[in-house]
């Protein structure tokens, strides 16, 4: 009676090569999918960030400028000096025989409010709203509550032939507010994302 033995053998070099190639192809596909998804996610987050920064700045500036009493000195430029209406004939402040608007900042009649671009943490340009006693006082460094508030981050500072942040038209009684957000991130295509140059012409009621 004969007995047939079982012969076991390992993988050949060709088989190992084929398996390695398949593994590399699958791994490359998975990595590409992961990187594409990550880039898409970062791009979506950057887009939302850019839109939010622009929207929150425009919402506040446009609403406040319509009712403000601005100082056109130095315009066009990247700073706007103005006063807001605190009330009418406030006792011991604007107490006159005729109805008079008491102009000032959030707390003090005769004081000032400003919008300006400054360098924030990490060199990021910020649009800030700050309050001072005098028209030409410098913005605080850093911007801190309650006299200063950041309106938008990652603001692209207009330079050269670019449109200034604020421009005043005395004939039309308007202020043109122009803003662009430029968000830098090394993982984004091109190294960042920016908004188009956004602009709003605000008709003044109390200049």
As a whole number of angstroms, the distance between CA 97 and CA 133 comes to 26
Q: Are 167 and 175 in contact (CB under 8 A)?
A: yes
Residue 49, pLDDT score? 80
How do residues 50-75 score in pLDDT, each as one tens digit? 888 888 888 889 999 988 999 998 88
Nearest CA to 182 among 163, 154, 157?
154
Burial of 155 per CB tally in 10 Å (0-12, 13-18, 19+): buried
Q: Are 84 and 68 in contact (CB under 8 A)?
A: yes
How do residues 131-182 score in pLDDT, each as one tens digit? 999 999 999 888 988 899 999 998 887 655 467 889 999 899 999 998 888 8
- pTM value is 0.75
Q: Are 82 and 177 in contact (CB under 8 A)?
A: no
């Amino acid at each position: 009676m004969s007995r047939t033995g079982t012969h076991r053998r390992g993988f050949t070099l060709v088989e190992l090569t084929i398996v390695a190639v398949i593994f590399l192809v699958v791994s490359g596909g998975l990595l590409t999918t992961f990187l594409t998804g990550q880039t898409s996610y970062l791009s979506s987050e950057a887009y939302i960030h850019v839109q939010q920064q622009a929207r929150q700045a425009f919402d506040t500036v446009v609403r406040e400028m319509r009712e403000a009493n601005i100082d056109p000195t130095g315009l066009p430029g990247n700073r706007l000096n103005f006063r807001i209406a605190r009330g009418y004939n406030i006792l011991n402040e604007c107490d006159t025989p005729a109805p008079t608007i008491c102009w000032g900042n959030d707390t003090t009649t005769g004081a000032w409010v400003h919008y300006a671009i400054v360098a924030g943490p990490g060199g990021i340009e910020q649009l800030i709203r700050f309050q001072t006693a005098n028209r030409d006082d410098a913005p605080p460094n850093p911007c801190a509550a309650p006299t200063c508030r950041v309106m938008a981050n990652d603001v692209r500072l207009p330079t050269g032939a670019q449109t200034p942040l604020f421009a005043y038209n005395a004939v039309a009684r308007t202020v043109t507010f122009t803003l662009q957000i430029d968000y830098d991130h090394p993982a984004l295509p091109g190294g960042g994302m920016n908004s188009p140059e956004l602009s709003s012409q605000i008709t003044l009621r109390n200049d």
